[in-house]
Amino acid sequence: MSEIQLWTLIGIVVTFGLYIGIAWRSRVKETKGFYVAGQGIPTIANGAAIGADWMSAASFISMAGLIAFMGYDGAIYLMGWTGGYVLLALLLAPYLRKWGKFTVPEFVGDRYSEVVRAIAAVAAIIVSFTYVVGQMNGGGIVFGRFLNIDLQYGVMIASVVIFVYAVLGGMKSITWTQVAQYTVLIIAYLIPAVAVAQVMTGIPVPQVSFGQILDGLNDLSVQLGLEVYTDPFSTRPMIDIFLVTMALMIGTSGLPHVIIRFYTTKTVRGSRYSAFWALFFIALLYTTAPAVGAFTKFNLLDGVNGTPTDALPDWVSNWAATGLVSVNENADVVNTVSNDPDAGADLTVNNDILVLASPEIAGLPAPIVGLVAAGGMAAALSTAAGLLLVISSSVSHDLYFQRFRQNASDSERLLVGRIAMAAAIVVAAIMGVNPPAFVAEVVAFAFGMAAASFFPALVLGIFWKRCNAIGAASGMVVGLALTITYMIYTLEVFGTVANDHLLGVSPEGVGTIGALVNFVVTIVVSKLTTPPSEEVSEMVEGIRYPAVQRRSPAGS
């Protein structure tokens, strides 16, 4: 066992033991604790849990890699994923918290109808499964590189750990585990970034110092056949930059596993402050990611530029064993580098390795490499658990209990929820072994689906009394169907890195178009059909003012 493997094993064993210990102490026996943590989570802790839920494998593992290869255009992920939280805090979180139910489909069902609830539950399952595939794959990547475990076995190990702590305590254990996971992942992300910044620039503040290496990075990029790092719209058309950014923003506001976090606070005011703390915790990583991307790409290119293929740095051979780095067997010297395996470059580097490989590329000591591996696992596990809870609640609460067994006991509902989560973990693990794209791109697909389905239904449901069940159902089905169809078509025909998508719209950006179509269909159909009842109008009026106690709707 190498020194890196030893430190990685220590980090993963210690952190996994911590997570399982927290889960055991937080186990629950009632559905309210399982789904919304008894609505007793303190504000700052909830903010940290939201941060961990949000900073998934896509943020920790893949985002800096995408920024490294996309350069200026990679800012879409920073702007979209952080800007979405502003929309969420202003437009949705306090109102949904006031409603005080377990799930997003439950609000949709009360606001519109049981049919719309079922549509929303199915949409939540589709979105969450798409999202969780990236997390499982990210966990497999960590195990594959640092412990020499095949990807499929790495995914299986991650699945078992998630099963133990998520099934034991549901949202309560997931929340407190995520507080610990946020602590691990942010330390693991910041320490290497600070160390690399100090070594390369003499200024240990990566957010400030990475600007010093951009001119050299631009020169290296051109020498190795890449676009100028700081040039805008070099990897994507301008229209797609806008569409992807918007899809990520409104997708953030519609993600069920993020919205449900605001149900766990003690008060409506607490949900607002949770959003503030979440933004603070997220900003620590998101302001560092551009620096990590720039530093790592500079070190990568500087270390391989003009180097004979039989004399490349050790990190190349280490990662080549995982299949995520490959050297062109016909090349004698590295003169071209790419993240596209079909580009025929001398050296091909997968986006998803750059953060995990950054300590090795920069020559940092083995304990830091092990720490980064533990952080990557924390990021993957934290988000996967939240997503699996959404799947569980959608199946057990919104479909099984609401549609088929309304007289089910609390213990029966809890048992079905745990069984649904276990089944979801198995399916997610199978899908995670062979994802359709890079981790962050798979996650972006989920955001597009959430944007095209949930966001219009939630916003109109809160702010437009005239919106009715037929309109909401029509909009959700049409918007989601359009988005999924286009994603499948473009992935089959063009792939994920092509610049010649239809009208320049990538599969990550089509969610914006799906959301616009959803809005139009919902509004037109609502206008042409019978308006909601007076009781529903009063309900909508009540939830617009978070400080005012609403009347309970009939049947709730």
Q: Is the whole-model pTM more than 0.75?
A: yes
Map residue 343 onto helix, strand or coil. Answer: coil
How does DSSP classify residue 353?
Answer: G
Angle, helix 366-393 to helix 354-361, in steps of 10 degrees? 170
Confidence (pLDDT) at 78: 86
Residue 333: phi and psi, rounded to 5, are -135, 145
* Torsional sign, CA 452, 458, 462, 468: positive
Confidence (pLDDT) at 491: 74
Confidence (pLDDT) at 243: 94
Q: Are 546 and 462 in contact (CB under 8 A)?
A: no
Distance (Å, whole) CA 161 – CA 154 = 11
Confidence (pLDDT) at 165: 63
Question: Would you give per-residue pLDDT tens digits along the chain (556 residues)?
Answer: 578 888 888 888 888 888 878 877 776 666 666 666 566 788 888 888 888 877 777 678 778 888 888 888 888 888 888 888 778 777 787 777 777 665 678 888 889 998 998 898 888 888 888 877 777 777 777 777 777 777 778 788 877 777 776 666 567 777 888 888 889 889 989 999 999 999 999 999 999 999 999 999 999 888 888 889 999 888 888 999 999 999 999 988 777 777 777 767 777 677 778 878 888 888 888 899 999 999 999 998 999 989 999 899 988 988 888 788 999 988 999 999 988 887 889 999 988 788 888 888 888 888 888 888 888 888 777 777 777 777 777 777 777 777 777 777 777 877 887 788 788 888 878 877 776 655 666 778 888 999 999 999 999 999 999 999 999 999 999 999 999 999 888 877 655 555 567 777 888 899 999 999 999 999 999 999 999 998 888 888 877 765 544 444 444 3
Confidence (pLDDT) at 439: 60
Confidence (pLDDT) at 532: 92
Confidence (pLDDT) at 552: 43
Confidence (pLDDT) at 553: 44
Confidence (pLDDT) at 499: 55
Map residue 230 onto helix, strand or coil. Answer: coil
Which residues, 6 or more positions from 32, have their beta carbon under 8 angstroms from its beta carbon?
Answer: 38, 39, 102
Q: Which DSSP helix (H) or strand (E) runs through 187?
A: helix 151-201
> Following DSSP, what letter does each residue of 477-542 receive, concatenated?
HHHHHHHHHHHHHHHHHT-SS-S--GGG--TTTHHHHHHHHHHHHHHHHHHHSPPPPHHHHHHHHH
Distance (Å, whole) CA 382 – CA 393 = 17
Q: Are 282 and 153 in contact (CB under 8 A)?
A: no
- Domains present along the chain, CATH in parentheses: 3-297+363-443 (1.20.1730.10)
